[in-house]
Amino acid sequence: MTNKDEKLIAEYMGWQEDELLVGYCIAPDRTAHFDLNDAGLCVKKMQKRGDLDDFNNYALMMCFKVAKIDIWPTNFFAWLYNADNFFEAMAKWLKEEKK
């Protein structure tokens, strides 16, 4: 994931960049590491905004194309619950949404 991708996700989440902590400040004592803990926060935000179904549909199509997974749902969720895959899908989804 690129810095541009991280900034796009941080913007969606409302996370502010903190120069001292070198990352995106979620709370005064915590920065975004783009791990599964942060993925859970993103899912919660998507639910609140009504975006989760759109994201899941996008991620499912991405999973089939990229990972060539054809067994639903077990392999899809195993793929998506990898933080790198989740944030890659989220960044691509946000880029598509902005078009």
Q: What is the pLDDT of residues 68-96, one digit of tens each?
A: 656 566 677 788 889 999 999 999 999 99
Helix (H, G, I), strand (E, B) or coil at 70: coil
Q: pLDDT per residue over 7-22, tens digit each?
A: 999 999 999 887 666 6
Is the pTM higher than 0.75? The answer reads yes
Can you tell me the mean pLDDT for 35-51? 95
Nearest to 90 by CA among 44, 39, 53, 48: 39
